[in-house]
Structure 1
């Protein structure tokens, strides 16, 4: 096997080197051999190699041209796509007649952007098994009235069923990151919301961007008559459970708040 290129700090590359952790991650994917597997940022292919041993339909999306060339040479059966994951069009899988499972060790600096991109296409995805900064994973599963509870918590829990599977030490990466990591699995089993994704995002972000204020003040920029007889706007953003944000947004839509 030819030596793979060195990591690029500018791309946030940290490659897994521990075979036991790699197998543990792949073991966690609830997929059958014929299902479609999409790997985000395969890098040097440490996880990819195990995926190819277990699944027949593996696609790898990689931004680094050096890694694309390396993967193409090393794994002739792998479908390698040279693309920025934030520009990738997941709708290409809409006509697939098999479940789509996503896996990836996400660059820490664009984790949230990747997640929101996946949530947008959740109707065509089955699961996403992702490694990310432990701190971010804890925010995703945080419950109301917790300091970690926020925008990511609400949207993740409304649009999927997230579960932290296990933590990962920095020592199993090359080079080691300066943070602890966690593997978290999103199961896209929630179906559609009672409101539009975009309107939900507007309400949730407005509420949490001023999380120290009462909702009545935080949502003032909506420039709308709030249904004060149906919801308690004296609460702060962190007090509302995810389903209440969905309910509130749906009600505001009925009232014509968003035009």
Structure 2
């Protein structure tokens, strides 16, 4: 993994395993580990899914609290080190280790997720979490700080984007703590932040793929008006193709005298009075209107 912060003991063992192309960094502050575990609010009956356990510093602390920990680790060398560390450990039977890509693996059942992610999988991981079934209680995840700030950004904030809207639509997201880069060895280039993601239960009654496509369009140029975005030729062509696909799938006959796609779009914009509004100023209720 790239740009991930691996948690391990403060011995030379972990440092010798670091690979630059994985962007691995050792979290050397035990107080941060303790804080993450406390904020995860783990119950004795919980199954915890840990992403990126490294050599197990956080893993051991999670095992002290949870009924069971399932750890998914991409780096096979780290898997070997974690297995060695847990040999003969009092909590060894409570730990299951899976070597693989967290984006591609089907997650087993879990109550709480604790993750420490590289930047390049942060966005797909968040969407995987938010659409995971069954709904879990919450996730406590460490991201690069700017990515974390996008998750919690509100309208008018420069970081407000499609990620902000979708995350806040499907969950309550809260910033828990900032982790300065000097807490890692070697220190990464940027600070990190830990956030809690609590899925909404029940989820909003929307077709998420269609919703996400709509939000993606709105944020094509978030400083442009919606009118300017939806009047673009390529956007109108795409909407036309989508409309034809939808009517074909639903076996709906298209009226011969129907309005053009541009006329239909202009009618909606006029009716909602959103033609002159910009995506960066709209909250979730505006998009749902």
In the superposition, the TM-score normalised over structure 1's length comes to 0.87
5+ long unaligned stretches in structure 1: 94-98, 249-259
The alignment status of 1:28 with 2:39, answered yes or no, reads yes
CA distance, structure 2, for counterparts of residue 71 and residue 64 of structure 1? 11
List per-residue Cα deviations over 1:173-212 (Å, max 9, x = no partner): 1221110111110111342223211111101111112212
Aligned position for 1:81 = 98
List per-residue Cα deviations over 1:86-108 (Å, max 9, x = no partner): 10212x32xxxxx6111011112
Moved more, 53-62 or 209-218: 209-218
Which of 73, 82, 88 is residue 71 of structure 1 equivalent to? 82
Alignment of 1:97-246 (within 5 A): 100-121=111-132, 123-220=134-231, 221=235, 222-223=239-240, 224=261, 225-226=264-265, 227-228=268-269, 229-245=271-287
Q: Secondary structure at the match of 2:285?
A: helix
CA distance, structure 1, for counterparts of residue 138 and residue 78 of structure 2? 25
In the superposition, the TM-score normalised over structure 2's length comes to 0.78
- The CA deviation at 1:124 is 2.2
Q: Secondary structure at the match of 2:219?
A: helix
Structure number with greater Rg is: 2
Query: Is the Cα contact below 8 Å between 2:135 and 2:201 reproduced in 1?
Result: no
CA distance, structure 1, for counterparts of residue 44 and residue 23 of structure 2? 31
The alignment status of 1:43 with 2:85, answered yes or no, reads no
CA distance, structure 1, for counterparts of residue 218 and residue 39 of structure 2? 35
- The CA deviation at 1:73 is 2.3
Q: Secondary structure at the match of 2:40?
A: coil
Going from structure 1 to structure 2, the CA distance change for 1:10 and 1:243 (only over 3 Å counts) comes to farther
Aligned position for 1:255 = none
- The CA deviation at 1:79 is 0.3
The alignment of Structure 1 onto Structure 2 pairs a total of residues equal to 241
Structure 1 residue ranges, 4+ long, deviating more than 3 angstroms after superposition = none
CA distance, structure 1, for counterparts of residue 188 and residue 224 of structure 2? 36
Q: Secondary structure at the match of 2:103?
A: helix
Q: Secondary structure at the match of 2:205?
A: coil
Root mean square deviation, CA, Å: 1.9
5+ long unaligned stretches in structure 2: 1-8, 87-91, 241-260
- The CA deviation at 1:122 is 5.9
